[in-house]
Structures are given as C-alpha cells and as structure tokens.
Amino acid sequence: MANKPTNEKLVMANIRQRITFAIVESYKNTRTNIINLMAKKNAKILAISSPNASEGKSTTSLNVAITISQLEKRVLVIDCDVHKPTIHKKLKIENNVGILDVILEKATLEEAIHKHNDYLDVLTCNTIPVKSTELLNTTKFDEVLKQLSEEYDYIIIDTPPINPVSDALVIAQKVDAFVLVIRAASTTHDAYKKAVKALGVLGISVDGVIINGADPRPKGYYKSKYSYYKSGKTYY
C-alpha cells in the first residue's frame, strides 16, 4: 500500500492566524532552495547552525524537515545539540534514547529512531553523563551518518550555535551541506563574520543563509496594523 501524504503541521511560535499562510509560503521557498542546493551538490546530509543561541536553528531544522517530508521524501531530522536538545520538546515526543546511545552502541538505529509519520523520522539527542561533544567527533558517528544516508532521501541535522561551542564545527566537517540561520534584528554582523571565519579556518564554506524573522509581507501590505509583527523565513 502506498504511503499517505503527510499533514504534519509546521512548528511555529505563537502567531496570528492571518499570517501563517505567508510563513508557510516562506518555508516552501526555503525548501525549494535547499532541495536545489542539495541536488547541485549531490548531497543528502544538511547541517543547520547559527552564530549564537536562540536564532532559530531548531525551529528551522524541524520545519525544513517537515516541509521536505510533505513532498513524500524520506526525511530524518537529527538533534545534535547535546547542550540544549529541543527537537523532542517541539515535537512533544519522548527523549529516552537518541543519537548518543547509537554512537555508544547502547542502542541500534532501529531502537533509537522515532517514526513520526510515513515520511518523517527523528533521532533525538538524549543527554547522558559522558563527554557528549567528543562523541560527535568519532568515526562511529561517521559510520552512523553513512548508514543513514543510504536509508533516507534527506537528513537534516540541528546543531548548537557556532560561536560559543565547537560542536557545529565538528559536525560541519561530516556533512554534505551547511547552512546558517541568522535572526533578523538580532544577529550582529560581527557575530556572523566570526562564525563564517571559524568555518573558513576549517575550509568549510557556508552554502546558504536563512534569515529567520524577516518580515514575509510585501512592502505596504497589512500596513500599520501588523507593522511590528515579524515571523517567517526567507532563504537567500
């Protein structure tokens, strides 16, 4: 029997109903750009990070994964933010077993993967009392990613921010494509430059930037009534 299309809803902050359409459209544009990027690079594994905390990495990772899965592609989202895992909270799922258990060989992929719907699977990031950052820098993690890339059309990895911790730099070296989220009216130019420089030292270039919180409405639209509202994403 063929799989049913997924009606998975996007994860959104508490927003006015009237502009959700614009946000959904922004995510669809982001999806198109990411799919084109991945096709051009013959890539399967995409990591998403940002210069600093709270710029929208996890929301973006999840919504990009959901929108791609809506095209009936097999998508896995992996929470690799060992310092502040949130993907399970956003999806309201358990986090008893996750990617770190798999790397430590305490669980198989089959045991750890949460099947969210017909097209979207999730590997959460369980917190365990070991040096979890070091676990991401192992050949076992490479092997796990290789195995997963044979099973999925797209793998989206949520990471910690680049400037405060080194994990995203470790992960960036293991993936096929790397995209930065910056938050409108929040991420500074200096913070962005610092992150890009840290990546550049390792020979990693940024494949794209997603601006989170950019006003998705055409100029003049909704004029004063919603003029302070900002949400949604644009991909450049």
* Residues at the interface with Mg ion (CB under 5 A): 57-58, 86
List the one residue from 98, 161, 208, 216 that touches ligand ATP (CB under 6 A).
Answer: 161
For residue 189, the number of C-alpha atoms closer than 13 Å in the C-beta half-sphere is 0
Q: Counting contacts by CB under 6 A, is residue 39 touching ligand ATP? A: no
H-helix segments, 70-159: 87-91, 99-103, 109-112, 132-135, 139-151
List the one residue from 84, 174, 194, 217 that touches ligand ATP (CB under 6 A).
Answer: 84
List the one residue from 25, 53, 94, 193 that touches ligand ATP (CB under 6 A).
Answer: 53
Q: Counting contacts by CB under 6 A, is residue 213 touching ligand ATP? A: yes
Furthest C-alpha separation in the chain: 56
Q: Counting contacts by CB under 6 A, is residue 212 touching ligand ATP? A: yes
The dihedrals phi and psi of 139, each to the nearest 5 degrees, come to -70, -25
Rounded-to-integer distance, Cα 183 and Cα 225, Å: 23
CB of 60 to ligand ATP, least distance (A): 6
Question: Tokens in use for 125?
Answer: 């990031």
138 makes contact, choosing from ligand ATP, Mg ion, none, with CB < 5 to 8 Å by partner type, with: none
Place of tokens 């997603």: 210
CB of 73 to ligand ATP, least distance (A): 22
